[in-house]
Amino acid sequence: MSTPGTNAPSGSPGSSNPEYVTARVRARRGALFDDDEYSKLVRMSPAEIARYMEESEYEQEINDLGSRHSGVDLIEYALNRNLSRHFDALLGFAEGQLYDLIARYLRKFDAWNVKTVFRGVYTDADSEAIETDMIRAGEFDDALINRLLEAGTVEDVVTVLDGTMFADGLEAAFEDFQETDTLVPLENAVDRAFYEQLLGNLPSGEAIDLYREFLEAEIDFRNVRNALRLARSGADIDPGEYFIDGGRLFSASEMSTLVENTDELVSRIRESTYGEKLSEPLDELEAADSLIDFERALEGVLLRYSKQLGNVHPLSICPVVAYILMKEREVTNIRAIARGREAGLSETAIEQELVIL
Amino acid sequence: MSLELASELGNVVLQTGQSGGPALSPSAAAALGVGLAAFGAGYAERGIGAAAVGAMAENEDLFVRGLILTVLPETLVILALVAIFLV
């Protein structure tokens, strides 16, 4: 992987090879856990889940980590490692334009890692604890991640990130951080940098146009989620700060007014292009008043959207992104099961936590 | 020089025009057809082959199936060969 965080228009020579990549991606998608396996997993103890995983896709990771960790930790680290192995492999066999598009999307994990380091440093966690939460699937190489882990203060982290795509936004955000002593401005700067490079000068083409629409939907959903959370928490924060540019649903100033009036926000979503897809979860939201269920429904809608897009344009970035989302979701699901079992939640409670297509 | 060439070319064109026959003999046209069909088959196999190798990399059991699917467009060339025997 080349210089981290640069947004070069072509990072890999040659034309793209969507046939090869999508064939491999589809095979891997087929290996993901299905309904039956989830219902089996829900009934297992953490140790049994680990044993079950050893006989599946996760064999290599469980074997590698089995001697050092156990229980839920083993599952969690194995999941993270497996995720980065698969996504690194994606970058390994994609070429040309396809490589660029996948790399852009996978920088999500760079953003994740940076945020994790910020939180870890802020709460004085030791670097070993931070390291276990890292997902090395993005573009940052091990050297950079190690330097991030060695950083002792938030300022150090910002300095280490100098030269990456996050640098510009972080500089301004750091001043805010010094004034307010909350991580919010820094985390928002990271998110914003990620989404900016994700949508910035996308190539043209029919499939890419649809892909852009999908990314816009992802951003919109994020904004909706943030708006609802802010409305719920009732905290006195400027919602515009959380706003991510690039969506189609509303602008930063609109979001500020909509946060104050949830009903208006809901009706706004209903009237938008997402109204049809989201009508059921919105009904539930209004009836049951449960934000968690709604957020999970949003994710389900997004997953289905990406999957459908992958069927419309089988030879493009679309099926790859669908796979990335599904794999991520699987990891989150298994983690929820393992954590839930450990905490002694009932099977139905855990099942509610899962998003299964 | 170029003028000479042009007039000679004109002569050639006129000559073929005078003889009244088609520009291509039937067997030449058939050969061209087979060639184009082979080109099309090759282009089709490019994509299928890439996908088949990708599938095989994930699961070696797919070798036979991938091989069959990869050479399917070859039927284009076999059908085009019929044209050779018809002329």
Least reliable range by pLDDT among A27-36, A68-77, A277-286: A277-286
Shared domain for A77 and A40, answered yes or no, is: yes
Q: Write the pLDDT tens digit of every residue in A251-291.
A: 888 887 887 777 888 888 888 888 888 888 888 787 777 78
- The CATH code of the domain that includes A32 is 1.10.132.50
Question: Does A302 lie in the same domain as A262?
Answer: yes
Query: What is the model's pLDDT at position A1?
Result: 40
CA distance A180 to A174: 10
User: Is residue B63, in this structure, part of any structural domain at all?
Assistant: yes
Looking at the structure of chain B, the number of domains it has is: 1
Instruction: Confirm whether A11 is domain-assigned.
Output: no
Q: Do residue A299 and residue A335 come from a single domain?
A: no
Interval A96-123: pLDDT, tens: 899 999 999 999 999 999 999 999 988 8
Is B12 part of any domain?
A: no
In DSSP notation, A76-123 reads HHHHHHHHHHHHHHHHHH--HHHHHHHHHHHHHHHHHHHHHHHHHHHT
Residue with tokens 């892909």: A211
Which residue range(s) make up the domain with B44?
23-86
Query: Does residue B10 belong to any structural domain of this protein?
Result: no
Q: Average pLDDT in the A189-200 region?
A: 89
Residue B16 domain-assigned (yes or no): no
What torsion, rounded to 10 degrees, do the Cα atoms A269, A275, A279, A283 define? 20
Q: In the structure, what pLDDT confidence band is assigned to residue A2 with cuts at 50, 70 and 90?
A: very low
Q: Is the residue at A341 inside a domain? A: yes
Residue B15 falls within a domain, yes or no? no
Average pLDDT value over all residues in chain A: 86
Dihedral (Cα; A176, A179, A182, A185), 10-degree rounding: -10
The answer to whether position A153 is within a domain reads no
User: How many whole angstroms separate alpha carbon A207 and alpha carbon A25?
Assistant: 17
A248 domain residue, yes or no = yes
- A198-248 pLDDT, tens per residue? 988 888 888 898 999 899 999 988 888 888 888 887 766 777 777 888 888
More reliable by pLDDT, A280 or A18: A18
Note whether A248 and A347 are same-domain residues: no
Q: What is the pLDDT of residue A225?
A: 86
Contact status, residue A324 vs residue A105, Cβ threshold 8 Å: yes
Q: Which of A32, A48, A30, A31 is nearest to A40 (CA)?
A: A48
d(CA A320, CA A216): 17
- The one-letter code for the residue type at A281 is P
- Indicate whether A206 and A308 sit together in one domain: yes
User: CB under 8 Å to A39, separation ≥6 — which residues?
Assistant: A351
Rounded CA-CA distance B37/B45 in Å is 12
- Nearest residue in B to A19, CA atom: B51
pLDDT exceeds cutoff 90 at A321: yes
Residue A189 lies in a domain: no
Burial (CB < 10 A; 0-12, 13-18, 19+), residue A348, is exposed
pLDDT at A249: 83
Least confident among A60-64, A252-256, A315-319: A252-256
Per the listing, tokens 């900016």 go with A196
Could you report the per-residue pLDDT of B35-44, keeping only the tens digit for each? 999 999 999 9
On whether residue B75 sits in a domain, the answer given is yes
User: Quick check: is B3 in a domain?
Assistant: no
Candidates A19, A21, A24; nearest CB to B47: A19
Residues of B in contact with A93 (CB under 8 A): 54
Q: Please report whether residue A155 resides in a domain.
A: no
Chain B contacts in chain A segment 309-338 (CB below 8 A): 315
Average pLDDT of chain B to the nearest whole number: 84
Partner B contacted by A28 (CB < 8 A)? yes
Check A24 against B59: CB less than 8 A apart. Answer: no
Asked if A24 and B58 come within 8 Å (Cβ–Cβ), the reply is yes
Segments of chain B scoring below 70 in pLDDT: 1-20
Look at chain A and report how many structural domains it folds into: 2
Q: How far is B49 from chain A (nearest CA, A)?
A: 8
Q: What is the domain range of residue A302?
A: 202-315
* CA-closest candidate to residue A110, choices A78, A76, A87: A87
Q: In this structure, what token pair is assigned to residue A292?
A: 């968690």
Q: Which among A52, A29, A57 has a CA at the least distance from the CA of A338?
A: A52
| Overall average pLDDT of the A172-182 stretch | 85
Contact between residue A240 and residue A259 where contact means Cβ atoms under 8 Å apart: no
Q: How far apart are CA A154 and CA A177, in angstroms?
A: 9
- Rounded to whole angstroms, the Cα distance separating A353 from A296 reads 8
CB contact under 8 A, B54 and A19: yes
User: Which value does ipTM take for this structure?
Assistant: 0.74
Confidence check: pLDDT of A52 > 60: yes
DSSP-derived 3-state class of residue B47: helix
Using the beta-carbon criterion (under 8 Å), do A19 and B57 form an inter-chain contact?
A: no
| Count of Cβ atoms closer than 10 Å to residue A257 Cβ | 12
- Report the alpha-carbon distance of residue A315 to residue A269 in Å, rounded: 31
Please give the Cα distance from A306 to A189 (Å, whole number).
26
Report whether B49 contacts B10 (CB < 8 A).
no
Whether residue B77 lies inside any domain: the answer is yes
